Amino acid sequence: MWGGRFASGPAEIMEEINASIGFDKRLAPQDIRGSLAHVAMLGAAGILPHGDVAAIQDGLKTVAEEIETGRFEFRRELEDIHMAVESRLTEIVGPAAGRLHTARSRNDQVATDMKLWVRDTLDGLDAQAAELQRALAEKALAHATTVMPGFTHLQSAQPVTFGHHCLAYVEMLARDRGRFRDARARLNECPLGAAALAGTSFPIDRHATAQALGFDRPTANSLDSVADRDFALESLSAASICAVHLSRFAEELVIWTSAQFNFVKLSDGYTTGSSIMPQKRNPDAAELVRAKSGRVIGALTGLLIVMKGLPLAYSKDMQEDKEGTFDALQALSLCLAAMTGMVRDLEPNPDILARAAGSGYATATDLADWLVRELGLPFREAHHVTGRLVGAASAKGVGLEELPLSEMQAAEPRITQAVYAVLGVENSVSSRTSHGGTAPDNVRAQATRWLDALGASGA
């Protein structure tokens, strides 16, 4: 394709390091879509005769079909998907195929292809994240009153409801989806027609190609058009944050399914056994979700480093954007699907959760709040009194609710029998009705609001 001034072909190793066909062949549908839009525009603008346009369009459709049906031969010496498609097109339609590359370059072509791929992928991730939100909101509604320990420092802190915990992830995913959509909106400018870097002297209609490919408008600066990979970086950043959310949840599932916690049960569908220890039920899917966040973050880091030293405009370094981006966004898609399956099948163990919720003096804050509310103690003093009561209960090896009134009164004489009403775990969670609090009424309202907003599917 570019051999005019070369006397010999590339060295074997040159071919190996230079070729991207092994991984950019997945851009074939986007590449052909871009070429169809480009050639239609060239025809409409009077740059190519209609006969050639029609021949090229038919030829491109044949190539697309060959690729879809697996009859296309991807040859490394053709370097990349752009040259592979054009070369086959030439075999099919003859010399007219050579006119397709008028007023464009592989630089604007590859930027367009990548944007189209990333855009479709972001749409898919958004829909998958919505699916996971729905599964979580359904679980939340079913477990609006199921109490569990809430943790800080992984120490029992205050009781919460299982539904409330699920809804925390619904909120995280809402922000993730916002980031996917923002990235999509910002990437939706078409680089095609920027040509190699400087634009072209042909009277092309970049608005027409942008519109044909579903972009909002053409990019405004030809140098930026071919040098920009922000859309990949931004999508990988959004993906990394989402992957971190999934990883945190996965970590919780790993902890919660351990025999020591036994908070929840994962289904057979999302666990594995051990070939030697019959009692084992390993949370492999959760572990892999946790691990794959590393690949996603790694792809972001890798591409940031590829880009950071590049002078404008295009450099071949940018070919290295692909494998990481493909791999990371696909990995996230798989993680979202696996997490959705795990959540749907997840069964909390309410008795164990309730027992754990009441242990570790999880209602100590409720006692302190009662001292403030009923006796008018300043919170700091109430905190001190409560600390002494926790110490007394712990010395006897009993819960706060089991500490006799006389011992309570030894710490603060004005305490009455009424205090016991706030010491139960159920009372504790029901009282947390502040906006965003864990009270079952709040959880039901929030879960219902989310399910309405998400609709039956895909909202």
In the complex, what is the shortest distance from the CB of residue 26 to ligand ARG, in angstroms, rounded to a whole number?
Answer: 12
Q: Which is nearer to ligand ARG, 77 or 268 (CB)?
A: 77
By CB under 6 A, name the binding residues for ligand ARG.
20, 24, 80, 106-107, 110, 314, 316, 318-319
Q: Kindly report whether the peptide bond that precedes residue 227 is cis, defined as omega within 30 degrees of 0.
A: no
Q: Which is nearer to ligand ARG, 35 or 107 (CB)?
A: 107
Q: Which of 8, 153, 275, 435 is catalytic?
A: 153
> What does the H/E/C string look like for the chain?
CCHHHCCCCCCHHHHHHHCCHHHHHHHHHHHHHHHHHHHHHHHHCCCCCHHHHHHHHHHHHHHHHHHHCCCCCCCHHHCCHHHHHHHHHHHHHHHHHHHCCCCCCHHHHHHHHHHHHHHHHHHHHHHHHHHHHHHHHHHHHHCCCCEEEEEECCEEEEEEEHHHHHHHHHHHHHHHHHHHHHHHHHHCEECCCCCCCCCCCCCCCHHHHHHHCCCCEECCCHHHHHHCCHHHHHHHHHHHHHHHHHHHHHHHHHHHCCCCCCCEECCHHHCECCCCCCCCCECHHHHHHHHHHHHHHHHHHHHHHHHCCCCCCCCHHHHHHHHHHHHHHHHHHHHHHHHHHHHHHCEECHHHHHHHHHCCCCCHHHHHHHHHHHHCCCHHHHHHHHHHHHHHHHHHCCCHHHCCHHHHHHHCCCCCHHHHHHHCHHHHHHHCCCCCCCCHHHHHHHHHHHHHHHCCCCC
Q: Which is nearer to ligand ARG, 21 or 125 (CB)?
A: 21
Active site residue 274: yes
In the complex, what is the shortest distance from the CB of residue 113 to ligand ARG, in angstroms, rounded to a whole number?
Answer: 9
Q: Which is nearer to ligand ARG, 228 or 412 (CB)?
A: 228
**Which pair of tokens denotes residue 80?**
């990349």
Q: Which is nearer to ligand ARG, 41 or 111 (CB)?
A: 111
Active site residue 153: yes
Q: Which of 50, 258, 267, 274 is catalytic?
A: 274
Q: Which is nearer to ligand ARG, 316 or 396 (CB)?
A: 316
In the complex, what is the shortest distance from the CB of residue 21 to ligand ARG, in angstroms, rounded to a whole number?
Answer: 8
Q: Round to whole Å and give the CA distance between 174 and 165.
A: 15
In the complex, what is the shortest distance from the CB of residue 196 to ligand ARG, in angstroms, rounded to a whole number?
Answer: 7
- How far, in whole angstroms, is CA 77 from its chain's centroid? 36
Amino acid at 37: A
In the complex, what is the shortest distance from the CB of residue 28 to ligand ARG, in angstroms, rounded to a whole number?
Answer: 13
In angstroms, the first-to-last Cα distance of the chain is: 46
In the complex, what is the shortest distance from the CB of residue 23 to ligand ARG, in angstroms, rounded to a whole number?
Answer: 9
In the complex, what is the shortest distance from the CB of residue 38 to ligand ARG, in angstroms, rounded to a whole number?
Answer: 15
In the complex, what is the shortest distance from the CB of residue 285 to ligand ARG, in angstroms, rounded to a whole number?
Answer: 34
Q: Which is nearer to ligand ARG, 113 or 126 (CB)?
A: 113
**Which pair of tokens denotes residue 364?**
């100590």
Q: Which is nearer to ligand ARG, 192 or 264 (CB)?
A: 192
Catalytic residues: 153, 274
